[in-house]
Chains A and B, each alone.
Chain A
Amino acid sequence: MSDTSDPNPPPLEIHDLTVSYHKKPVLWGVDLEVPAGKLIGIVGPNGAGKSTLIKAAMGLMPLNSGWVKVFGEPVKKNLRRVGYVPQRESVDWDFPVSVMDVVLMGRYGRLGLMRRPTREDKDKARECLEKVKLLPYANRQISNLSGGQQQRVFLARALAQESDLYFMDEPFAGVDAATEASIIELLHELKEMGKTLMVVHHDLPTARSYFDMLLMLNMRVVAFGETSKVFTNELLQKTYGGRLTILSEVADAVRQAPSV
Chain B
Amino acid sequence: MNLIPEFDFQTVFAGPWTEDFSSYGWIMLMGFLVATACGLVGNYLILRRMALVGDAISHSVLPGIAVAFIVSNSRGSVAMFVGALVAGIVTTIIIETIHKRSRVKQDAAIGIAFTSLFALGVILISLYADKVDLDQECVLYGEIAFVPLQESVKFAGHEIGPVPVVRMGVVALVVVALLIVFYKELLVTSFDAGLAFSLGINATAVHYGLMSMLSVVVVSAFESVGAILVIAMLILPGATASLLSQRLPAIHLLTVLHGALSAVLGTHLGLWLECSIAGAMVVVGTGWFVLAWWVHLLCNASWFRRARQIRSEPDPAHALS
Contact = CB atoms under 8 A, between A and B. Distances in A.
A182 B320 contact: yes
A30 B47 CA distance: 37
A97 B247 contact: yes
Interface string B39-69: 0000000010100000000000000000000
A86 interface: yes
B200 interface: yes
A157 B199 CA distance: 12
B149 interface: no
Interface residues of A, number: 44
B314 A136 contact: yes
A117 B142 CA distance: 43
B318 A133 contact: yes
Contact of A105 (B192, B248, B314): B192
A97 B200 CA distance: 21
Contacts of B302: none
A136 B192 contact: no
Contacts of A90: 192, 194
Size class of B's contact patch? 20 to 34
Nearest to B321: A146
Contact of A136 (B181, B246, B251, B318): B318
B71 interface: no
Contacts of B247: 96-98, 141
B195 A84 contact: yes
A218 B170 CA distance: 57
A111 B191 contact: no
Nearest to B318: A136
Contacts of A146: 321
Contacts of A133: 318-320
B242 interface: yes
B314 A114 contact: no
B86 interface: no
Given A86-B192, A109-B198, A176-B321, 14 more contacts: A82-B198, A91-B191, A96-B47, A97-B187, A97-B191, A98-B247, A101-B187, A105-B188, A109-B199, A113-B181, A114-B181, A133-B320, A136-B314, A141-B246
Interface of A: 55, 58-60, 76, 79-80, 82-84, 86, 90-92, 95-98, 101-102, 105, 108-109, 111, 113-116, 133-137, 141, 143, 146, 148-149, 157, 161, 176, 178-179, 182
15 contacts: A84-B198, A95-B190, A96-B251, A97-B187, A97-B247, A101-B248, A105-B187, A108-B188, A109-B199, A111-B184, A133-B320, A135-B318, A137-B319, A146-B321, A178-B321
Shortest 8 CB-CB contacts between residues of A and residues of B: A136-B314, A109-B199, A84-B198, A141-B246, A79-B200, A136-B318, A96-B246, A96-B248
